[in-house]
Amino acid sequence: MIRPIKALVIRNLIKLKRDKMKLFLNIFMSGLFLFIFSFVIKSTAVGVEHPMNYLISGIIIMTVFQSSLTNSMNILEDISTGFMKEILVAPIFRWQIAIGHVLSATIISFLQGIIIVIIGFFMGLSINFLNGLEMIGLMLLVGLTFSSLGLYLATISKESGNFQLLIAIISFPLTFLSGAYIPTMALPNLIQPLVYLNPLTYTTAAFRFISLDMGNMSSEALVKAGIAFNIFGFTITPFYSVLAIFTMCFIFFNLCVKRFNYADFSRVKVFRHKH
């Protein structure tokens, strides 16, 4: 039961190893955002004690989020190469294929997040052993959550172009409204309701709470730092944020596995370059 899942995970990791340019571009974009927004964060992070660490932790979790979504496109590449047709006729269940793809995307996004963590150490990020373990756990949870969402979107997309557009429509607004690059308290009041409706807002806040070791701060201080949110008198603490991530993970994972079981991959179109 586990062997097909393990085989798919290993196979996708080998694909990543061979496609070094894709890995480099993902890391390069994260580094570019880190460089650009380091100038913005110094003037907008009011109430934040260590603004660069605040920014680095946001970019780490956004790297995991974006990588987990985009790596789900591997399934469309498998369709274009004929690999999916071969694996569907193999004596394994479809849910095993779905879990294999989700886990491989989760691991890949986690590894890319770890690379940004290492870069962050050279820029002043400091964490203790316990916080490091909690960061690893949350990165894996976020990777699993949005890898599941990415696979679900891939299975309902009939063309790879539609999938890429869908990912862009989802990821860019959610990313910039999450407070990962610009603190939520620095955003205009007009768009604050969108910030509170954004699931990535709570993902980013929970990760910062752990990575910046803010456990000794009061609720009022966490609200001021953009780590907790006071909505109509109710304070959404990092505990509730983590609970929300668990809930999203459960929903997206079940949705993607169920959808994958009934997906008609013969209707999926993948653009190919003509030589």
The dihedral of CA 89, 250, 144, 168: what is its sign?
Answer: positive
Number of domains the chain is built from: 1
Asked if the structure places residue 274 within a domain, the reply is no
State the residue range of the domain holding 64: 3-265
Q: What is the pLDDT of residue 273?
A: 47
Asked if the structure places residue 14 within a domain, the reply is yes
Asked if the structure places residue 271 within a domain, the reply is no
Calculate the alpha carbon distances from 116 to 26, 29, 58, 240 in Å: 10, 11, 11, 26
Q: How many Å apart are CA 184 and CA 169, to the nearest integer?
A: 20
Asked if the structure places residue 272 within a domain, the reply is no
- Among 237, 242, 178, 173, which residue's Cα sits nearest to residue 204? 178
Q: How many Å apart are CA 165 and CA 270, to the nearest integer?
A: 13
Asked if the structure places residue 275 within a domain, the reply is no
Q: What is the pLDDT of residue 255?
A: 92
Asked if the structure places residue 273 within a domain, the reply is no
Asked if the structure places residue 270 within a domain, the reply is no
pLDDT tens over the chain, length 275 residues: 788 888 888 888 888 777 777 667 767 777 777 776 666 665 555 555 667 777 888 888 988 998 888 877 777 777 767 677 777 777 788 888 889 889 999 998 999 889 888 888 887 778 888 988 999 999 999 999 999 998 888 888 766 677 778 888 888 888 888 888 877 877 888 888 888 989 899 999 999 899 888 888 888 888 888 889 988 888 999 999 999 999 999 999 999 988 888 776 665 555 554 44
For the chain, helix, strand, coil in percent to 5 are: 75, 5, 20
Q: What is the pLDDT of residue 49?
A: 64
Asked if the structure places residue 7 within a domain, the reply is yes
